[in-house]
Amino acid sequence: MFTLNDDERAIGETARQFADEFLAPNALEWDERKHFPVDVLRKAGPVGFGGICVGDDVGGSDLRRLDAVRIFEQLATGCPSVAAYISIHNMATWMIDEYGTDQQRRRWVPGMASMELLGSYALTEPGVGSDAAALTTKAVRDGDDYVLTGAKQFISGAGANDVYVMMVRTGGEGPRGISALIVPADTPGLSVGPNEKKMGWNAQPTRQVILEDARVPVANRLGAEGDGFSIAMNGLNAGRLNIAACSIGGAQAALEKTVAYLTERQAFGRSLIRNDALRFDLADMATELEAARTLLWRAAAALDEGAPDKVALCAMAKRFATDVGFEVANKALQLHGGYGYLHEYGLEKIVRDLRVHQILEGTNEIMRVVVARALTGAA
């Protein structure tokens, strides 16, 4: 797991090359303009980044979770916001591939794997965040359709995407009343709210999705009625790993910028990089990132193997890596002094982008709840 073979190194190098060529040169402009680079996302599909852990019979790359986290770390060195959207798209694509019928897989997955179709994951609602099992969006059976009424909140890609993997209530209260549906974005009765004004993640849209008697075929359901909550949670395990990887990648880019800056910057007659206190800061930042990376790889391997502790490990990795990523990026900004606060240096963007990673895919407080339950056996 810790010594990469030639193929594994090539996967990471390909992702870094993509980030260096297509993401990093444009990241600040996209952030400033709040531009969602769909044209660049279309380029990511043919490289294999649209369906990383999806079967190759439907156009996926058929790679492991361990490969995926290495890819997302490298993509995030170019732009954490765009890398994070690609992660969310992959989560939706994988859920259709994993839980869909053969007909559903062949209808949706090839276009999503190529990123000709863009996908979103729709679980959170205006009044329902961490307590996802309490969601209220209703799907009432009417012949061969479900009629959907309700709203989803904080949906990445909404308004620019083609398909949602959406959790809806088809039964009674609690997790057993939730089902998963493939909802085309052009479904009559589905609309989106304005793009949210956010602290970071400006290179991807975040909107509310509103459902007013939107009819979706029963044939678009993933699994049986009542399977939706477990499908959503299984998708989140991988989503948490990928967001953790995006935090490490963004922070790694911040560290690299800081080493270069301290090497070039002169103060008190010598380069700042010769100051032992600053060198110790760099050493601590690198050590913390390596610790987070090691835990992330351990959790990804556990998920690949279906290990009994996979859920807890995914939660540990997400909590630790997103906290470390933010702190390292924030320290990098501090080490740049006043220049770190300027947009053109790129540090403040990384800090803003990484802050939300401590909230989404389950807040880090909820990650502690998941780990504590695994330790104590408490419900």
CB 131 within 8 Å of CB 175: no
CA dihedral 42, 29, 86, 88 (to 10 degrees): -130
Name the active-site residue from 73, 125, 348, 361: 361
DSSP string for residues in 198-247: -SS-TTS-EEEEEEEEEEEEGGGEESSTT-HHHHHHHHHHHHHHHHHHHH
C-alpha separations of 275 from 265, 288, 340, 373 in Å: 11, 20, 19, 45
CA 316 – CA 295 distance, rounded (Å)? 8
Residue 151's region, left for phi above 0, alpha for psi from -120 to 50, else beta, is: beta
Element (H or E) spanning 181, and its range? Answer: strand 178-184
Task: State both tokens at 373.
Answer: 């339950």
Three-class SS state of 53: coil
Residue 340 CB neighbour total at 10 angstroms:
23
- Does 8 qualify as catalytic in the annotation? no
Q: Which residue has the tokens 């780990």?
A: 371
Q: Check if the beta carbon of residue 219 is closer than 8 Å to that of residue 108.
A: no
Show which residues are catalytic: 361
